[in-house]
Structure 1
Amino acid sequence: MMARLVGIILGMILATSGYVIAGLGVLGDWAQNLDLGPFEPHRPFVGWAAAITGAVLLVAALTPRPKRKSRRKPAPVDLEPSLAAAPVMAVEAAPEPTPVVAPILADPIAATPIVAPIIPSAAPAPPIETFEDLRARLVALSRQEAWSQAAQTLNRLLRLAGDDREKALSRRDLGDFARGQGRLDEAAEAYDEAVSYARAVRAAQPDDFAADELLASALSGVGDVAEMEGRLNDALSAFEEALALRRSHGGREAADPNARRALSVSLERLADLREDRGHRMRALDLYRESYDVAARLAAADPARFGADLASTRARLAELEAKVAG
Structure 2
Amino acid sequence: MLTTFHQTFHCHHLTHPTKLLHSSHHHHHRPPNNRIIPIHFSTGIFNSLSAIDKHKTTNQDHQNQHPDDDYNTQFIHLNKTHKKFELNSAESRCGILSNMWWADLKGAVGQRINIEGLLFSVSVVTRNKNWVIPHVKVPDVRYIDWAALKRKGFEGVVFDKDNTLTVPYSLALWGPIAPSVESCKAVFGDKIAVFSNSAGLEEYDPDGRKARALEFVIGIRVIRHKLKKPAGSAEEIEKHFGCDCSKLIMVGDRPFTDIVYGNRNGFLTILTAPLSLKEEPFTVKQVRKIELALVNRWLKKGIKPANERLLSDALDCVKEPPSV
User: When the two structures are superposed, what TM-score results if normalisation uses the length of structure 2?
Assistant: 0.19
CA radius of gyration, larger in? 1
- Larger RCO (CA within 8 A; separation ≥ 6): 2
Q: Whose strand fraction is larger, Structure 1's or Structure 2's?
A: 2
User: When the two structures are superposed, what TM-score results if normalisation uses the length of structure 1?
Assistant: 0.19
Q: Whose helix fraction is larger, Structure 1's or Structure 2's?
A: 1
